Structure 1
Protein backbone atom coordinates (compact mmCIF):
# COMPACT_ATOMS: atom_id res chain seq x y z
CA UNK A 1 0.00 0.00 0.00
CA UNK A 2 1.33 3.44 -0.88
CA UNK A 3 0.53 6.58 1.07
CA UNK A 4 1.39 10.07 -0.15
CA UNK A 5 0.57 13.42 1.33
CA UNK A 6 1.61 17.03 1.20
CA UNK A 7 1.18 19.62 3.93
CA UNK A 8 1.57 23.40 3.71
CA UNK A 9 2.33 24.73 7.17
CA UNK A 10 2.86 28.10 8.81
CA UNK A 11 6.47 28.82 9.75
CA UNK A 12 5.61 28.37 13.39
CA UNK A 13 6.48 25.55 15.76
CA UNK A 14 2.78 24.64 16.10
CA UNK A 15 2.91 22.84 12.74
CA UNK A 16 5.60 20.34 13.77
CA UNK A 17 3.30 18.21 15.98
CA UNK A 18 0.80 18.09 13.08
CA UNK A 19 3.47 16.68 10.77
CA UNK A 20 4.51 14.17 13.42
CA UNK A 21 0.91 13.04 13.93
CA UNK A 22 0.05 12.58 10.24
CA UNK A 23 3.33 10.87 9.39
CA UNK A 24 3.43 8.74 12.54
CA UNK A 25 -0.16 7.55 12.14
CA UNK A 26 0.48 6.74 8.47
CA UNK A 27 3.56 4.67 9.30
CA UNK A 28 1.86 2.88 12.18
CA UNK A 29 -1.13 2.00 9.99
CA UNK A 30 1.35 0.11 7.79
CA UNK A 31 2.75 -1.74 10.85
CA UNK A 32 6.15 -0.05 10.76
CA UNK A 33 8.09 -0.82 13.93
CA UNK A 34 8.01 1.82 16.64
CA UNK A 35 11.81 2.23 16.57
CA UNK A 36 11.69 2.97 12.84
CA UNK A 37 8.75 5.38 13.30
CA UNK A 38 10.65 7.17 16.07
CA UNK A 39 13.76 7.58 13.91
CA UNK A 40 11.77 9.04 11.01
CA UNK A 41 9.81 11.40 13.27
CA UNK A 42 13.01 12.63 14.93
CA UNK A 43 14.62 13.43 11.59
CA UNK A 44 11.49 15.09 10.21
CA UNK A 45 11.07 17.15 13.39
CA UNK A 46 14.65 18.42 13.04
CA UNK A 47 14.12 19.30 9.36
CA UNK A 48 10.84 21.07 10.13
CA UNK A 49 12.45 22.93 13.03
CA UNK A 50 15.12 24.21 10.65
CA UNK A 51 12.45 25.30 8.15
CA UNK A 52 10.63 27.18 10.91
CA UNK A 53 13.83 28.91 12.08
CA UNK A 54 15.52 29.55 8.74
CA UNK A 55 12.82 29.24 6.04
CA UNK A 56 12.11 32.94 5.57
CA UNK A 57 11.10 35.21 4.04
CA UNK A 58 8.07 33.04 3.22
CA UNK A 59 5.45 32.51 5.91
CA UNK A 60 4.98 28.82 5.01
CA UNK A 61 6.96 25.67 4.41
CA UNK A 62 5.92 22.36 2.86
CA UNK A 63 6.28 18.72 3.81
CA UNK A 64 5.82 16.03 1.18
CA UNK A 65 5.85 12.35 2.14
CA UNK A 66 5.68 9.12 0.16
CA UNK A 67 5.50 5.82 2.00
CA UNK A 68 5.65 2.56 0.08
CA UNK A 69 7.84 -0.13 -1.44
CA UNK A 70 9.53 -0.63 1.90
CA UNK A 71 10.71 2.93 2.36
CA UNK A 72 9.67 6.38 3.47
CA UNK A 73 10.68 9.50 1.56
CA UNK A 74 10.07 12.90 3.13
CA UNK A 75 10.90 16.30 1.68
CA UNK A 76 10.82 19.45 3.79
CA UNK A 77 10.80 22.49 1.52
CA UNK A 78 11.28 26.09 2.58
CA UNK A 79 12.04 29.42 0.93
CA UNK A 80 15.04 30.32 3.06
CA UNK A 81 18.35 31.62 1.79
CA UNK A 82 19.53 28.13 0.95
CA UNK A 83 22.54 27.75 3.21
CA UNK A 84 23.38 24.41 4.77
CA UNK A 85 26.52 23.83 6.78
CA UNK A 86 27.14 20.24 7.76
CA UNK A 87 29.26 20.10 10.92
CA UNK A 88 32.00 17.50 11.13
CA UNK A 89 31.28 16.70 14.77
CA UNK A 90 28.72 17.40 17.46
CA UNK A 91 29.17 20.85 19.03
CA UNK A 92 30.12 21.06 22.69
CA UNK A 93 27.31 20.77 25.21
CA UNK A 94 27.35 24.50 26.01
CA UNK A 95 26.36 25.40 22.42
CA UNK A 96 22.62 25.45 21.80
CA UNK A 97 22.48 24.82 18.02
CA UNK A 98 24.27 22.79 15.38
CA UNK A 99 23.18 19.23 16.08
CA UNK A 100 20.13 18.87 13.82
CA UNK A 101 21.82 17.77 10.61
CA UNK A 102 24.04 15.28 12.46
CA UNK A 103 21.01 13.87 14.26
CA UNK A 104 19.15 13.49 10.95
CA UNK A 105 22.16 11.74 9.40
CA UNK A 106 22.31 9.33 12.35
CA UNK A 107 18.69 8.12 12.12
CA UNK A 108 17.90 7.94 8.39
CA UNK A 109 19.52 5.95 5.61
CA UNK A 110 19.96 8.88 3.23
CA UNK A 111 19.82 12.63 3.55
CA UNK A 112 20.35 15.14 0.79
CA UNK A 113 19.93 18.86 0.33
CA UNK A 114 18.81 20.72 -2.75
CA UNK A 115 19.91 24.28 -2.26
CA UNK A 116 18.82 27.04 -4.61
CA UNK A 117 20.14 30.41 -3.44
CA UNK A 118 17.26 32.83 -3.39
CA UNK A 119 14.72 30.03 -3.94
CA UNK A 120 15.08 27.94 -0.82
CA UNK A 121 16.16 24.59 0.49
CA UNK A 122 14.75 21.09 0.21
CA UNK A 123 15.81 18.50 2.75
CA UNK A 124 15.20 14.99 1.43
CA UNK A 125 15.11 12.21 4.03
CA UNK A 126 14.89 8.54 3.07
CA UNK A 127 14.63 5.51 5.33
CA UNK A 128 14.02 1.82 4.72
CA UNK A 129 11.03 0.66 6.71
CA UNK A 130 11.19 -2.09 9.29
CA UNK A 131 7.78 -3.74 9.39
CA UNK A 132 6.40 -5.64 12.37
CA UNK A 133 5.64 -8.92 10.57
CA UNK A 134 3.69 -10.28 13.55
CA UNK A 135 1.30 -7.34 13.39
CA UNK A 136 0.84 -7.78 9.66
CA UNK A 137 0.00 -11.49 9.94
CA UNK A 138 -2.24 -10.95 12.99
CA UNK A 139 -4.35 -8.36 11.20
CA UNK A 140 -6.58 -10.78 9.23
CA UNK A 141 -7.45 -12.60 12.48
CA UNK A 142 -8.34 -9.30 14.15
CA UNK A 143 -10.64 -8.35 11.30
CA UNK A 144 -12.32 -11.79 11.36
CA UNK A 145 -13.20 -11.40 15.03
CA UNK A 146 -14.92 -8.02 14.54
Structure 2
Protein backbone atom coordinates (compact mmCIF):
# COMPACT_ATOMS: atom_id res chain seq x y z
CA UNK A 1 0.00 0.00 0.00
CA UNK A 2 1.17 3.48 -0.78
CA UNK A 3 -0.17 6.81 0.47
CA UNK A 4 0.65 10.19 -1.07
CA UNK A 5 -0.64 13.64 -0.29
CA UNK A 6 0.38 17.12 -1.35
CA UNK A 7 -0.73 20.42 0.14
CA UNK A 8 -0.15 23.77 -1.58
CA UNK A 9 -0.32 26.30 1.25
CA UNK A 10 -0.14 30.05 1.68
CA UNK A 11 2.88 31.28 3.62
CA UNK A 12 0.68 32.13 6.58
CA UNK A 13 0.75 31.14 10.25
CA UNK A 14 -2.61 29.35 9.91
CA UNK A 15 -1.20 26.95 7.34
CA UNK A 16 1.16 25.25 9.80
CA UNK A 17 -1.53 23.58 11.93
CA UNK A 18 -3.41 22.60 8.76
CA UNK A 19 -0.37 20.75 7.39
CA UNK A 20 0.39 19.19 10.76
CA UNK A 21 -3.17 18.01 11.38
CA UNK A 22 -3.78 16.64 7.88
CA UNK A 23 -0.65 14.50 8.04
CA UNK A 24 -1.12 13.47 11.68
CA UNK A 25 -4.74 12.48 11.09
CA UNK A 26 -3.77 10.44 8.02
CA UNK A 27 -1.11 8.61 10.02
CA UNK A 28 -3.51 8.07 12.94
CA UNK A 29 -6.18 6.56 10.68
CA UNK A 30 -3.66 4.12 9.23
CA UNK A 31 -2.59 3.08 12.72
CA UNK A 32 0.89 4.56 13.02
CA UNK A 33 2.15 4.42 16.60
CA UNK A 34 1.25 7.64 18.43
CA UNK A 35 4.82 8.42 19.52
CA UNK A 36 5.97 8.25 15.89
CA UNK A 37 3.07 10.50 14.85
CA UNK A 38 4.07 13.01 17.55
CA UNK A 39 7.69 13.08 16.31
CA UNK A 40 6.55 13.63 12.72
CA UNK A 41 4.10 16.36 13.77
CA UNK A 42 6.78 18.31 15.62
CA UNK A 43 9.38 17.92 12.86
CA UNK A 44 6.84 19.06 10.24
CA UNK A 45 5.83 22.01 12.43
CA UNK A 46 9.46 23.12 12.68
CA UNK A 47 10.05 22.77 8.93
CA UNK A 48 6.89 24.73 8.08
CA UNK A 49 7.68 27.40 10.66
CA UNK A 50 11.10 27.84 9.05
CA UNK A 51 9.32 28.64 5.77
CA UNK A 52 7.25 31.31 7.52
CA UNK A 53 10.28 32.80 9.25
CA UNK A 54 12.87 32.61 6.49
CA UNK A 55 11.33 32.25 3.00
CA UNK A 56 10.35 35.89 2.66
CA UNK A 57 10.58 35.90 -1.14
CA UNK A 58 7.55 33.64 -1.63
CA UNK A 59 3.84 33.72 -0.81
CA UNK A 60 3.28 29.97 -0.73
CA UNK A 61 4.93 26.64 -0.06
CA UNK A 62 4.22 22.96 -0.54
CA UNK A 63 4.12 20.00 1.82
CA UNK A 64 4.30 16.55 0.22
CA UNK A 65 4.14 13.35 2.22
CA UNK A 66 4.15 9.73 1.31
CA UNK A 67 4.24 6.33 2.93
CA UNK A 68 5.94 3.54 1.11
CA UNK A 69 6.22 0.39 3.14
CA UNK A 70 7.36 1.41 6.60
CA UNK A 71 8.94 4.77 5.73
CA UNK A 72 7.22 8.14 5.85
CA UNK A 73 8.84 10.67 3.51
CA UNK A 74 7.97 14.36 3.84
CA UNK A 75 9.17 17.29 1.77
CA UNK A 76 8.59 20.93 2.60
CA UNK A 77 9.33 23.02 -0.49
CA UNK A 78 9.52 26.78 -0.81
CA UNK A 79 10.62 29.11 -3.57
CA UNK A 80 12.16 31.63 -1.18
CA UNK A 81 15.65 33.05 -1.10
CA UNK A 82 17.36 29.87 0.06
CA UNK A 83 20.17 29.54 2.60
CA UNK A 84 23.58 27.94 3.06
CA UNK A 85 22.47 24.39 3.81
CA UNK A 86 26.04 23.26 4.52
CA UNK A 87 26.38 25.26 7.73
CA UNK A 88 22.84 26.11 8.90
CA UNK A 89 21.83 24.34 12.10
CA UNK A 90 25.21 22.73 12.67
CA UNK A 91 26.09 24.89 15.66
CA UNK A 92 24.08 24.79 18.85
CA UNK A 93 21.93 27.77 19.71
CA UNK A 94 22.90 29.78 22.76
CA UNK A 95 21.02 28.64 25.90
CA UNK A 96 19.36 32.05 26.20
CA UNK A 97 18.37 32.24 22.51
CA UNK A 98 14.65 32.24 21.78
CA UNK A 99 15.07 30.70 18.34
CA UNK A 100 17.62 28.81 16.28
CA UNK A 101 16.82 25.30 17.50
CA UNK A 102 14.44 24.15 14.75
CA UNK A 103 16.92 22.34 12.52
CA UNK A 104 18.56 20.65 15.52
CA UNK A 105 15.15 19.54 16.74
CA UNK A 106 14.20 18.18 13.31
CA UNK A 107 17.45 16.20 13.18
CA UNK A 108 16.67 14.69 16.59
CA UNK A 109 13.11 13.68 15.66
CA UNK A 110 13.51 11.99 12.27
CA UNK A 111 15.80 9.28 10.96
CA UNK A 112 17.07 11.24 7.97
CA UNK A 113 16.94 14.90 7.01
CA UNK A 114 18.49 16.67 4.05
CA UNK A 115 18.35 20.29 3.01
CA UNK A 116 18.71 21.30 -0.60
CA UNK A 117 18.83 25.05 -0.88
CA UNK A 118 20.08 27.48 -3.44
CA UNK A 119 20.00 31.25 -3.12
CA UNK A 120 17.21 32.81 -5.19
CA UNK A 121 15.82 29.33 -6.05
CA UNK A 122 14.41 28.02 -2.78
CA UNK A 123 14.68 25.18 -0.34
CA UNK A 124 13.59 21.55 -0.10
CA UNK A 125 13.61 20.00 3.36
CA UNK A 126 13.47 16.21 2.97
CA UNK A 127 12.51 14.18 6.06
CA UNK A 128 12.32 10.41 6.51
CA UNK A 129 10.96 8.55 9.51
CA UNK A 130 10.68 4.81 10.09
CA UNK A 131 7.10 3.93 10.97
CA UNK A 132 5.87 1.49 13.56
CA UNK A 133 2.27 0.35 13.67
CA UNK A 134 -0.20 0.01 16.51
CA UNK A 135 -1.57 -3.50 17.05
CA UNK A 136 -4.50 -4.19 14.74
CA UNK A 137 -3.82 -1.12 12.62
CA UNK A 138 -5.62 -0.54 9.35
CA UNK A 139 -2.36 -0.75 7.42
CA UNK A 140 -1.61 -4.19 8.87
CA UNK A 141 -5.04 -5.46 7.88
CA UNK A 142 -4.76 -3.99 4.37
CA UNK A 143 -1.37 -5.53 3.72
CA UNK A 144 -2.16 -9.01 5.04
CA UNK A 145 -2.47 -11.77 2.48
CA UNK A 146 -5.61 -11.09 0.50
CA UNK A 147 -8.17 -13.86 -0.16
CA UNK A 148 -8.39 -15.42 -3.60
CA UNK A 149 -10.91 -13.22 -5.46
CA UNK A 150 -12.13 -16.26 -7.44
CA UNK A 151 -13.65 -17.63 -4.26
CA UNK A 152 -14.89 -14.33 -2.90
CA UNK A 153 -15.43 -13.42 0.71
CA UNK A 154 -18.03 -16.15 1.23
CA UNK A 155 -15.89 -19.12 0.25
CA UNK A 156 -16.30 -20.61 3.73
CA UNK A 157 -20.02 -19.89 3.84
CA UNK A 158 -22.11 -23.05 3.96
CA UNK A 159 -24.75 -21.43 1.75
CA UNK A 160 -22.45 -22.07 -1.19
CA UNK A 161 -21.46 -25.65 -0.45
CA UNK A 162 -22.52 -28.38 -2.87
CA UNK A 163 -25.72 -29.84 -1.49
CA UNK A 164 -27.98 -32.43 -3.03
CA UNK A 165 -30.95 -31.01 -4.85
CA UNK A 166 -34.24 -31.48 -3.00
CA UNK A 167 -36.44 -34.15 -4.62
The alignment's TM-score, normalised by the length of structure 1, stands at 0.88
**Distance apart, 1:116 and its partner CA:** 2.0
- Given that 1:31 and 1:135 are in contact with CA atoms closer than 8 Å, whether structure 2 keeps it comes out as yes
Match of 2:134 among 132, 135, 146: 132
Structure 2: 5+ residue stretches without partners:
143-167
Q: How many pairs does the alignment contain? A: 139
Residue 6 of structure 1 corresponds to: 6
Decide whether the 8 Å contact of 2:113 with 2:125 is kept in 1. yes
The 1:79/1:6 distance shift into structure 2, 3 A limit, reads same
Match of 1:86 among 85, 89, 92: 89
Change (3 A) 1:136 1:58: closer
Q: Matches of 1:133 and 1:88 in 2, distance apart?
A: 40
Give the match for residue 118 of structure 2. 116
Q: Which ranges in structure 1 are unaligned for 5 or more consecutive residues?
A: 141-146
Does structure 2 retain, via aligned residues, the 8 Å contact 1:56–1:79? no
Measure how far apart 1:137 and its partner are: 9.5
Secondary structure (helix, strand or coil) at the match of 1:133 reads: coil
**Deviation of residue 40 (structure 1)?**
0.5
1:58 CA drift (Å): 1.2
Give the deviation of 1:135 after TM superposition: 3.9
Taking only aligned residues, the RMSD between alpha carbons, in angstroms, comes to 1.9
* Cα shift at 1:4: 0.6
Residue 138 of structure 1 and its aligned partner are, at CA, apart by 9.7
Render the CA deviation track for 1:78-99: whole Å, top value 9, x for unaligned: 112211412332x233211110
Q: C-alpha distance in 2, partners of 1:82/1:104?
A: 18
Partner of 1:45: 45
Query: Higher helix proportion, which one?
Result: 1
SS of alignment partner, residue 47 of structure 2: helix
Counterpart position of 2:101? 99
Question: How far apart are the structure 2 equivalents of 1:87 and 1:10?
Answer: 29
